[in-house]
Chain A
């Protein structure tokens, strides 16, 4: 009994070591698939937009406790998403890329920190305010919509992009054409996100048809498995998913409109900052303005979000 147990443990140990030793190096790239259910050959590997971001020197922001912390630590901790293609994505080898990631790198470089030294923290939608308030991250860049309710807990710099709420459906599904055709359909989104709140408040579908998971990729998985009929969130995010699997998914393309004004609900992406740090907020807004004027913003956009077909207009900054 004793010998067999030791033998078993030794076997497990050698197996795990052996497995670790025979792993292939480099980034996994999907081969061209042949069977149904597998996506078209969209590359998973991260490529940056190529915008040059040199860290500024001699940066000092008076009266910003967050900046003092960054300066003394010599690095910056940024909250990001990891599963939103072309926005905030971590590929299989651990490299990060996307519009939000590069905006975060832009801010870091303006703060005087080398973008390669950023420490990224993955924070889910429902925990964004708590992670900023708790000091777990210095700032957050991850499809963070500016709302008045959130302004009670955190402050925002930006917006640096405006998206709209849309629907992601299966390619062969013709019954869903927009927000008015959701009755009786199961709609999925991330727990604690604005889009699903809107669906619930406006009663666009029955309460029992609202499905919530922690991440969008789980929603997309349920969509492909036909357990839900639509995934709703910002069109920028949805277009990224559709671009990764155009044979099975498509974006409806009809943004949700406010019944009062007839205009699309704007999802203003901002950079989440500590509530009381006005000095840092002004600095980040100034940095964004500079990047928008000198073409860096456009270059970053074209290399990331622009690839999935979202339109590019530089939104006016809301300073407060």
Chain B
């Protein structure tokens, strides 16, 4: 027990710094993927066939590609295009691109639950596509998809650990650092698990709160 606590106290700065990078990755990629995902959904239901095709292809490609491969392509293939992106921004971009595909899918399913009458009434009032989407449909769709959306964000929080394999000093790299210093591996991993459990708690709390406030009986 003593050794277990010592693993945390001796390496507190390392552990905390790495988790802070994880939190940063999560916040940046979370906001960005929500925005990009909403944009993709708008593209997929838009009247322009080309945009619909682009959205569908994008989601098809990124839903079926492992996240590690997305990272690998960003870190190894993109420099060949003479575009030099630092490792942390690369990680943010990879996570955003990947998660936005799932956000798009969840939101599209949400659009399907909004009653038809809403869109018909909006069109009867003469609203354009953009107005229908932004004023009527999407707000209601968002309210329905709170659980799946939180699930997507939860998964993204855990996916941030993949960045550790691509030179981002976040929580997934703690194990390698501490084993260098000769710390007990099992205790290290237990502490990392506890850290992630703590990080997931705000998400669950937020989900309950939002469900209570926004939940719609259908």
**For B75, what are the chain A residues with a Cβ–Cβ distance below 8 Å?**
222
What A residues does B84 contact at CB under 8 A?
A: 226-227
Q: Are A225 and B167 in contact (CB under 8 A)?
A: no
- Among A149, A221, A222, contact of B182 (Cβ-Cβ < 8 Å): A149
Alpha-carbon separation in the docked complex, A227 to B173 (Å): 20
Contacts of A203 in B (CB 8 A): none
Q: Is A213 a contact partner of B167 (Cβ separation < 8 A)? A: yes
Report whether B79 and A226 are in contact in the complex, using a CB–CB cutoff of 8 Å: yes
Minimum CB–CB distance for A198 against chain B, Å: 12
Minimum C-beta distance from B62 to chain A (A): 21
* B165 CB–A CB distance under 8 Å: yes
| Cα-based distance from A211 to B167 in the complex (angstroms) | 6
B16 on interface, CB distance cutoff 8 Å = no
Which chain B residue lies CB-closest to A224? Answer: B79
Main secondary structure of the interface of A (DSSP, over half): mixed
User: How far apart are B170's CB and chain A's nearest CB, in angstroms?
Assistant: 12
- Are A192 and B182 also in contact (CB < 8 A) when A212-B167, A221-B76, A225-B79 are? no
CA distance A126 to B175 in the complex (A): 10
Q: Count residues of B near A (Cβ-Cβ below 8 Å).
A: 15
A69 within 8 Å of B (CB atoms): no
Q: How far is the CB of B180 from chain A (nearest CB, A)?
A: 5
For residue A226, which residues in chain B have a CB less than 8 angstroms away from its CB?
A: 79, 84
The reply to whether the CB of A152 lies closer than 8 angstroms to some CB of chain B is: yes
Contact A126 B176 (CB under 8 A): yes
Chain A residues whose CB sits within 8 angstroms of the CB of B166 once the complex forms: 213
Q: Which residue of B lies closest to A129 (CB)?
A: B179
**Hey, which chain B residues are within 8 Å of A222, CB to CB?**
75-76, 79
Distance in angstroms from B164 CB to nearest chain A CB is 9
On whether the beta carbons of B79 and A191 are closer than 8 Å, the reply is no
Within 8 A of A (CB), among B134-171: 165-167
Give the distance to chain B from A181, nearest Cβ to Cβ, in Å.
22
The answer to whether A126 and B179 have CB atoms under 8 Å apart is: yes
> Which residues does chain A contribute within 8 Å of B167, judged by CB atoms?
211-213
Which residues of chain B have C-beta atoms less than 8 A from A212's C-beta? 167, 173
* Distance, CA A211 to CA B164, complexed state (A): 11
Kindly state whether residue A214 has any CB partner on chain B within 8 Å: yes
Q: What residues on A are CB-neighbors of B176 within 8 Å?
A: 126, 191-192
A192's contact among B76, B87, B179, B185, by CB below 8 Å, is which? B179
A226 to B80, CA, bound (A): 10
Inter-chain contact A152/B182, CB cutoff 8 Å: yes
User: Which residue in chain B gives the minimum CB-CB distance to A197?
Assistant: B180
A residues within 8 A CB of B173?
A: 191, 212
User: 0/1 per residue, A182-220, Cβ < 8 Å to B?
Assistant: 000000000110000100000000000001111000100
Contact residues of B between 76 and 112, Cβ < 8 Å to A: 76, 79-80, 84, 87
- Nearest CB in chain B: distance from A127 CB, A: 9
* A214 engages B182 (CB within 8 Å): no
Closest beta carbon of chain B to A252's beta carbon, Å: 22
**Complexed CA–CA distance, A212 and B173 (Å):** 10
* Contact partners of B79 in chain A: CB under 8 A: 222, 225-227
Considering the complex of A and B, which 10 residue pairs feature the smallest CB-CB distances, nearest first? A225-B79, A211-B167, A191-B176, A192-B176, A192-B180, A212-B167, A126-B176, A227-B79, A149-B182, A213-B167
Known pairs A192-B179, A212-B173 / 11 extra A-B pairs, C-beta < 8 Å: A126-B179, A130-B185, A149-B182, A152-B182, A191-B173, A222-B76, A222-B79, A225-B76, A225-B79, A225-B80, A227-B84
Listed A/B pairs (17) with beta-carbon separation below 8 Å: A126-B180, A149-B182, A152-B182, A191-B176, A192-B176, A192-B179, A197-B180, A211-B87, A212-B167, A213-B166, A213-B167, A222-B75, A222-B76, A225-B76, A225-B80, A226-B79, A227-B79
Chain B residues in contact with chain A, CB under 8 A? 75-76, 79-80, 84, 87, 165-167, 173, 176, 179-180, 182, 185
